[in-house]
Amino acid sequence: MIPAAFGVINEALGSLNDILTGWTVHTTPVILQHPPSRRATHKSMIEQNLAIIDLWDTELSKLSQKISDAKNLVLRKRAACASALTPIAGLPVELLGEIFQMVANTFNNQSVAVISAVCSLWRTIALNQPHLWATIEFSIGGSPYRAATYFARNRSTPLRVEVGDQRMHWGALIFESLPTVNLQLEALHWGSSLDMAELLHDPGDPQSEFTTLKTLTLSLPHSCRTCGIWWTDIEPELSFLDSVRFPALRHLELTRFVLNISQSIIPQLEYLKLDSVRLNTNGCSNTLRHARSLKTLIIDKSSDAELFFQGDPGISNDVYVLQSLENMQLSWCSYELTGMILKTFRCPSLLELHLSNVTQGLALSASGPFLNHLAHTVSRP
């Protein structure tokens, strides 16, 4: 019975083996997930930071090289400048002052501001030479502070003032200082539309005085317009000069004015220039005959000769002598004015006579009295 049982078991195992032989068994590996350790996490962070540090180190190396190159360039340029400036430092102080003034003028003449931006050596040179501050040119960029600075720095040096801005609403503030510096005022060039009579004349003094003023230039801007009236259409008169004394005045230039100069000024003048001046009957007919000291007479773009010489009925057509006149220039004047000047005035000391762009009336016959007088005058040694 036992052998029969073993036979059945063997048969059953054989059948199972046949079944298992026909199957394909697939196995999948099982992976166990473990959380990263703290050490691994820190290692990753350290590696990232090291990469960033390497990047910044590279950039810093580049910047350091640039700084080094720039420093070397500055040192080379400073050495070159030092070698170039060494001879300049040995120049006389007076010449260094002229160099400072020339350079300062390239900055729109803003020397008050420029001097604060230079080294102590140049600042000392500038402040120790008052004549560098003796010429003031007022423009739109000027200010009363600038005027006061120049008035203080020029000390006792003769002062030259030039006003050329027609929009200087603060002009009166600047010239409030003139009464205190008029003893230093040597030259005044007025090219503004401001009322010069108000600024020069002191209401508290019946007659103001500029004791040291030698040169006076009055000229109105071409485009000056007030209350809808062009100055070139209605020129202002010069009657305010009668209320101001100029005992030292020797040089007078007038542009675009009506000529009615006080006879008290004419005898002391050595230089008179009239440019685009309207000649009227207000005492001008016998003005020049009082010019005893006049050495230079320039008339440019002026006419009205009949008014100039025939203003007062009591004036005769006598010939007047300008004893000191050496130089006469007539430009863009009418033939009548040119002829009357040469016929009316004798100039025994005349050395130069310049006629420029005079009208066609000069093309007279050489036998005419005008050209005879002209030839006689020019031929003087």
Instruction: Report pLDDT digits (tens) over 56-90.
Output: 999 999 999 999 999 999 999 888 887 877 787 78
For residue 346 the two structure tokens come to 């004798």
Tokens describing residue 51:
């990469």
pLDDT the model gives residue 291:
79
Which residue, 341, 287, 344, 354, is CA-closest to 320? 344
Mean pLDDT over residues 170-194, rounded? 63
How far apart are alpha carbons 280 and 367 in whole angstroms? 33
Residue-level pLDDT at 363 = 38
More reliable by pLDDT, 212 or 327: 327
Cα torsion 340, 343, 345, 349: sign: positive
- Between CA 37 and CA 42, with CA 41 as vertex, the angle to 5 degrees is 115
Q: Give the per-residue pLDDT at 24.
A: 54
When pLDDT is cut at 50, 70 and 90, the band that residue 111 belongs to is: low
pLDDT for residue 123 is more than 70: yes
**Residue whose entry in the numeric block shows the structure tokens 């140049």:** 122
**pLDDT reported for residue 64:** 92
Pairing of strands 271-275, 296-300: parallel
- Comparing CA positions, the residue from 190, 264, 262, 199 lying closest to residue 221 is 190
Beta strand 320-321 with 135-138: parallel, antiparallel or unpaired?
unpaired
The answer to whether 249 and 214 have CB atoms below 8 angstroms apart is: yes
Question: What is the predicted pLDDT for the residue at 303?
Answer: 56
What are the residue ranges spanned by the domains of the chain?
A: 83-128
Nearest CA to 164 out of 134, 198, 118, 196 is that of 196
Q: Which residue has the higher pLDDT, 112 or 312?
A: 112
Q: What is the mean pLDDT of the chain?
A: 69
Over residues 345-352, the mean pLDDT reads 83
More confident residue, 235 or 348: 348
Query: Out of 129-133, 138-142, 173-177, 229-233, which region has the weakest mean confidence (pLDDT)?
Result: 229-233
What would the mean pLDDT of 297-318 be, rounded to a whole number?
Answer: 56
Per-residue pLDDT of 163-177, as tens digits, reads 765 454 555 555 555
